[in-house]
Every structure is written in structure tokens, then in C-alpha cells.
Structure 1
Amino acid sequence: MKKLALVALTALMAVSCASKKDLESALEKQKRTQELLDTATVELNACLSDKKVSYAQLEAMRSQVADLRANNEGLISNTGDLTMLSKKGADNLEKSLESLREKDLQIRTLNDAITRKDSVTLALVQSFKGVLGNLNDEDISINVEKGVVYVSISDKLLFASGSATINSAAKSVLGKVAKVVNDKPEIEIMVEGHTDNQSINTPLFKDNWALSSARAASVTRLLQTDFNVDPARMTAAGRSYYIPVASNDTAAGRAKNRRTRIIVLPKLDQFFDIVEKGMEEAKAKAKAGE
């Protein structure tokens, strides 16, 4: 009986030990399964979130594709208009280039004309200095102002005080001036009479206007009659005392102001003809693309 009870107790204990191990094993398995389930749940949620993002991106791309298609259709429909605009732009560009070429050629033409005029002016100065260079600088001077040649002759070399009659000795000086003028048919001259500010009132000359004008006329008349200078190329002008070159407060200054000035001018109509002709040539060359 005791043996039987012992065997039963031993079997019970074995069963009890076996049940505890199975339980622990089952619990451990359940724990791992729960961890796997939790991990799978997290991954599923992440996939669902990525799916939403992907759908949003897909819709955005579809919208972009639609916009691109619309723009492409617009560009295709405007190709004809763009072609016309491009041709118009090319025509305008060509016209602008032609205008620039014309302006450039005109500027060069003007520069050439001015250079030619300056060369003529320099040649005139050299010519006058060549024929008059042996005279006293106080009696005669040659200078250039703004491209114009001026020959100033002291009145003491030409006239007696208060007179408009040219001294016989002065005729040789005017003859040298006439030689240069006759050798240069492309020029004209203006003869100006200048006085000081001392009043004059004689039977012949009421004032300095009359004296200065009479002296200028005497010089032009002598150049015409004695030296065959074409009168159409000369102008006589009286300037009285209103354009002094020195102070009238001193005798020396008044002596400088009493003078006859010969202004040598290029024939302006010829000069402008040259310029106009050059402008027309420049326009023609610009159109030809030269």
C-alpha cells in the first residue's frame, strides 16, 4: 500500500514539473508572437503612411503632366506667330544696323571734311607767312581762330591818321595778300576796318563807323582794281571801335585797335556741297552693307 502511494506521488510530481515547463514555454512563445505582431503592426502603419505619400506624389505628377501637355499644345499653336515675330525682329535689327552704318559713315565723312578744311587752313597760313613773313610783327599778324585765318594789318602801315586813302608804300603789302587770294580760288575774304574809341567828326567822316567802313572799302577796291581780285569774293565791313583787341585807355592799346583785318573764309557753299555729297554716299554705302 505504501509502495502504491509512493508511486502515485512520484508520478504526480513528474506531471507537475512537466506542466510547469510547458507553461513557461507557452508563455515565452506567446511573448515572441506578441513582439512579432507589434513589429508587423508598426511596419503596416508605415506602409500605409508611405502609400498615402505615394498617392499624393502621383497626383502631383499627374497635375504636372497635364500642365506640361497644355503648355506644349500652346507652344505648338504659337509656332507660326513666333516665326512671324522672329522675322520682324530680324528686319528691325537689319534696319538698326543699316542706320548705325550710315551714322558711322556720316561721322567719318564729316571728320574727313573737317580734316580737309584744316589742311586748307594750314596751307593758307603757310602761304600768307611765306609772302608776308619779312614784315614787323607789330605791323602785321597772322593767326587762326576756330579754323578761320585772320590777317591783321596795322593802320599806320596803310593809312594816315583820320584818312581812308591807302599809302603808296602799303600797296606792296596788299599785293602780296592779293597773290595768295588769287592763287586760292576756293576762298573768299572779308575786309574789316577797326578804329580806336577816339571820337572823329570831319567833313568826310561823321564818326568811327564811317571811317572804318571807308577804310575797308578802300582796301577791297584796291585789291580789285590793282590786283584783279574778283569782287564777288570780297566783302567790306566797318566795325568801328566795338571789337577792341587791347585797352583804349593807353596810346599803345589804341594803336593796336586801329587795324584792318582780312578774314579768309572757305567758300561755304562748296564746303557744304562736299559734306552733302559725302552724306549721300554714306547713305548709299550703308544700304549696300559696306
Structure 2
Amino acid sequence: MDYFGSDTFTKVGYNNWKNALKSFNAHVGGPNSAHNNARKHAIDFKNQRRSVAHVWSEKSTEKEEQYKARLAIVLGVVRFLLLQAHAFHGHDESLSLSNKGNLLEMLEWYKGKDPKAASVFGENAPGNNQMTSHKIQKDLVKACANETRNAIISEMGGRLFAVLVDESHDKLIKEQMTVILRYVNEQGHAIERFLGVKHVTETASSLKEALDSMFAKYGLSISQLRGQGYDGDSNMRGQLHGLQRRVLDENPYAFYIHCFAHQLQLVVISVAKCCSSVLDFFNYVTLIVSIVSASCKRKDQLLQDQHEKNC
């Protein structure tokens, strides 16, 4: 067992002071001994502003405040770009370019207008904490999306609602299911809100599973559903195994209504087939658009001819 002292100072005492200096040094110990630590704490207590712990604490608090200010500014820019549906970054974000993309350019503008922003970005911020990386941008976008969904769910307030679902593939040829909620707010107005996009396979069972997972994630229940709106695809409106039938089997009050936009499209197609003049009109319009849109010269010639005809 280690001892912090010697009985010489408490019980035995000194008969010979020849080795006193050696005993004193042994009692004091090294830089991290209990004696020296107690002395340092006493000095720090007398003058706390000069203590190392206090200085480090002040530095940590200052860095934390700078981080909060930097995060608030970047988050404000992200929210603006999301609201305006603008791209965050361009093809190249090199520092030597005159235009580095919307987010970086807006931050540069912000720094020029607000001295506080300039004090927490660029050279005044750590190299690994600039808050401008693509990963940070995606995290902030996801956080904004979650807050938006929470606001939608809060606005619904547990009311009954209808769901509008459509599917299409993106540029990567992935089938995506889009889900929109339709409900009546406290003012009695019909509101439509976009809930999210889910990757699915082209089967009714996968569509139902994806819908159930989104409802479970956001605290919604099939029992609250009172309407379904889909297109005429067999996976959607199938009477035996379609999405609308699978939902109706679970909730018979979720009535299915064929999407009005798709119904109008089918009506136009049906009328065009029955009337040769209408069919010719749409065929000619399609040909004109295809021919003119492929050439700027043809487009200019068509505009000039139309202008001369109207004059």
C-alpha cells in the first residue's frame, strides 16, 4: 500500500536533522503527488481566472458558441434553398471559381453582410468544422424534412384523412411511390400535404407494405383512412389483389376513387379515337412539337410565321 506521508511528521518526530532536506523532498513528492496537487488547487482557488481548468472551460464555451452560430447560419441558408427548391451546389465548388454554387455563394454573401458570420466561418473556423460538406448538407435536409413531417402530423391532430398515391421511376430506373395526405384542417379547408417517397417493387404487396411502414413511422393508422386515390394501374386499382383491395380488406371505410386527372386523360384518349378531326389535331400537335423542339432555327421560323400571321 502506498502512503502519502511519513510517521516522522505525526508521531515519531526528528532526533537528527541531518537528513531533513531529503525527508522534506520525499514528503512533497513529484509533480502529480497529492501534496503538489493540493497546493495547486489552493492556488487556483485563490485566483480562479488564472487556473488552467478555468481557461480551458472558457475556450470550450467560446468554441461551443461559435459552433452554434455557424450551425444556425448554415441551417438558415439550407431552409431558404429548400423553400425555393434551388440546388445546393454546382458542378464544381473549387475555391478558385467565381461561382461555387448556391449554398457556398450565399454563405459568402452572408459573411460580407454580417461581421458575426465572418467571425465563425473560413479561417476563423476549424478546418474540419466548416459545416459546408455534402454530408452535413444532407443531414440538415433530413432534419428539416423530419420537422416538416412532424408539423404536418401535428396539424392533422388525429383527424380522419385520405391518401393519394402514385408511382413512377426516377433517373436511376428505380420505382418510387409518392404518398400525399388529404385532410380538413381546423378552419374547415381541405389540405393536401406531401408525406414522402418510398422505393418499391412493382407489386401490390410491396406497395401495401411500403404504405404500412410509412404510416407506422409517422404515427398514422389505417383505421383513420377514409379515402384512397390512385391511377388505373392494376397494382393500384385491382379489384382482387390491388393496393385499394388490400387496404379495403383492412379498413372497409377507406373508399377508393379513381384519380380525376387520369380519368380526364382516358376521356380525351377515348374522344380522340371516336372523332377523326380531334385525333388528327393531337397527331399534328405532336408532330409539330417534335419537329420544332429539335431545332432552334425551326422554332424561330415558327414564331416569325405566327407573328406575321397575327399582324
Normalised TM-score (structure 1): 0.26
Structure whose residues are more often helix by fraction: 1
Normalised TM-score (structure 2): 0.25
- Who wins on radius of gyration, i.e. which is larger? 1
